[in-house]
Structure formats: structure tokens, C-alpha cells
């Protein structure tokens, strides 16, 4: 059973950042930091896919931290088109790693948050990156070949926000492609399939830990 969530506000690059942490029983467990969808389209750390990712990593025995980007919820500042949001992620990771110095880092994100998580993985010594329905138009601008961590990409075939075809085409052309987890019946928000999302991700993550 995981511990109850703990609410914090920490100093970020543009003011206070709101976050929620769930500590694991094992102090040296992996540390998973999760990024939420687009701040200008209703994305918050309470998003259902983000909450599912938190439960997924808790089930895998990890410490989890989710947070609101600048300008969302009680986080101060204004939307910054990914630049400031990456700095928010780096600040949260620095805070969390100070609390869990012996933990390996896992990064994850949904939609816009998947792009920010990838940007973080290109700068930080992450061991695992999990992206759910990532904003593929943004990913085309990144030097993905520099990624060295294990990488899972989850995509629904019926995504009405992100083009599944574009995601699959982009992933297939990479020199270091992700482990692809496809959901033939899933739309962007995985309505009715969040439990399956959690179960399949837990299975895939644990396979890599054996």
C-alpha cells in the first residue's frame, strides 16, 4: 500500500510551484516525476492520465512527484511555450533528488507533458522515460538521437488530438526507437481504458527491471 500524498509548494524559476509527492516504502526506490498536459488547454497535475501514471509508478514501488507548471493551479508565473515549463521540471527534479539522493530518475508525461519529459531526459541522467500520446509536432524539433535511457511510448490508434500515424511514422524512423505500446481502441484521453493503461505499463516497466 502506498503512502498518502503530500502537498508542497517549492520555489521555482518563475515563483512558487505546486506539487504532490507520494513516498515509497523503500528509501532507495526509483524517483518518478510526471508532467501534465498543455496548460492552456485545461492540463493540470490532477489530469486522469497523469493520476494513472502516478498509480502505475507507485505500483512499481517508486517515489512519485507530480506538479503544476507555472500559471496552473497554485503555481505562479505564466505559460512559456515549453521553455519555462522545462525549467519548472528541472527545479522539481532538483528538489526531489535532494530528498531521494540514492534514487534513479524516471521521467514521464502525457501529451504536452510528454514533450517536456523528453526535453528533461535530454538534460538529466534519467534511467526511464515514459511518454503517453506525446505532442509529436514538438518532438520533431528535438535531437532524439541523444536519448540514452530506456524509453516507452504509449499511443492510442484513435487519438483525436495527436495524429497516431504521425507518431508511429516518427518513432519508426528513429535510430533509438522507443518500446511502443499501442492501444487500438484508445482516444487521446484513454477514456474507459485507464486501468488497462496502468496494467500494461506496470507489466512493461517491471519487465525492464528483471
Query: What is d(CA 200, CA 154) in angstroms, rounded to the nearest whole number?
Result: 10
Query: What is d(CA 192, CA 14) in angstroms, rounded to the nearest whole number?
Result: 37
141-152 pLDDT per residue, tens: 888 888 989 999
What's the whole-number average pLDDT of the chain?
95
**Secondary structure of residue 59 in the 3-state scheme:** helix
85-142 pLDDT per residue, tens: 999 999 999 999 999 999 999 999 999 999 999 999 999 999 999 999 999 999 888 8
Residue 210 has pLDDT above 50, yes or no: no
pTM: 0.96
Delineate the domains of the chain, giving CATH numbers in brackets: 6-207 (3.40.50.1820)
Assess contact for 36 and 110: CB atoms under 8 A.
yes
The alpha helices in the chain, defined as continuous H runs, are 48-59, 83-99, 112-121, 136-139, 164-172, 194-207
Assess contact for 112 and 43: CB atoms under 8 A.
yes
Query: What is d(CA 39, CA 113) in angstroms, rounded to the nearest whole number?
Result: 9
Provide the pLDDT for residue 127.
Answer: 97
Assess contact for 31 and 63: CB atoms under 8 A.
yes
Return the higher-pLDDT residue of 114 and 207. 114
Residue 76 has pLDDT above 70, yes or no: yes
Mean pLDDT of all residues in 71-79: 98
Mean pLDDT of all residues in 167-174: 93
Provide the pLDDT for residue 109.
Answer: 98
Assess contact for 71 and 20: CB atoms under 8 A.
no
Return the number of other C-beta atoms located less than 10 Å from residue 133's C-beta. Answer: 28
Assess contact for 67 and 75: CB atoms under 8 A.
yes
Provide the pLDDT for residue 209.
Answer: 62
Amino acid at each position: 500500500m502506498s503512502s498518502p500524498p503530500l502537498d508542497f509548494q517549492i520555489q521555482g524559476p518563475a515563483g512558487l510551484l505546486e506539487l504532490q509527492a507520494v513516498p515509497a516504502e523503500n528509501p532507495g526506490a526509483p524517483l518518478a516525476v510526471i508532467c501534465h498536459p498543455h496548460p492552456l488547454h485545461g492540463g493540470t497535475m490532477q489530469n486522469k492520465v497523469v493520476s494513472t501514471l502516478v498509480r502505475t509508478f507507485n505500483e512499481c514501488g517508486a517515489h512519485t512527484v507530480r506538479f503544476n507548471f507555472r500559471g496552473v493551479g497554485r503555481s505562479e508565473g505564466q505559460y512559456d511555450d515549453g521553455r519555462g515549463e522545462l525549467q519548472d521540471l528541472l527545479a522539481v527534479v532538483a528538489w526531489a533528488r535532494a530528498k531521494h539522493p540514492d534514487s534513479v530518475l524516471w521521467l514521464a508525461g502525457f501529451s504536452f507533458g510528454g514533450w517536456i519529459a523528453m526535453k528533461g531526459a535530454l538534460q538529466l541522467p534519467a534511467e526511464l522515460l515514459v511518454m503517453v500520446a506525446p505532442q509529436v509536432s514538438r518532438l520533431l524539433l528535438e535531437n532524439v538521437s541523444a536519448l540514452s535511457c530506456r524509453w516507452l511510448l504509449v499511443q492510442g490508434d484513435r487519438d483525436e488530438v495527436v495524429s497516431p500515424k504521425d507518431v508511429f511514422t516518427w518513432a519508426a524512423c528513429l535510430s533509438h526507437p522507443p518500446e511502443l505500446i499501442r492501444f487500438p481502441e484508445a482516444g487521446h484521453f484513454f477514456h474507459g481504458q485507464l486501468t488497462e493503461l496502468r496494467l500494461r505499463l506496470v507489466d512493461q516497466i517491471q519487465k525492464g527491471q528483471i
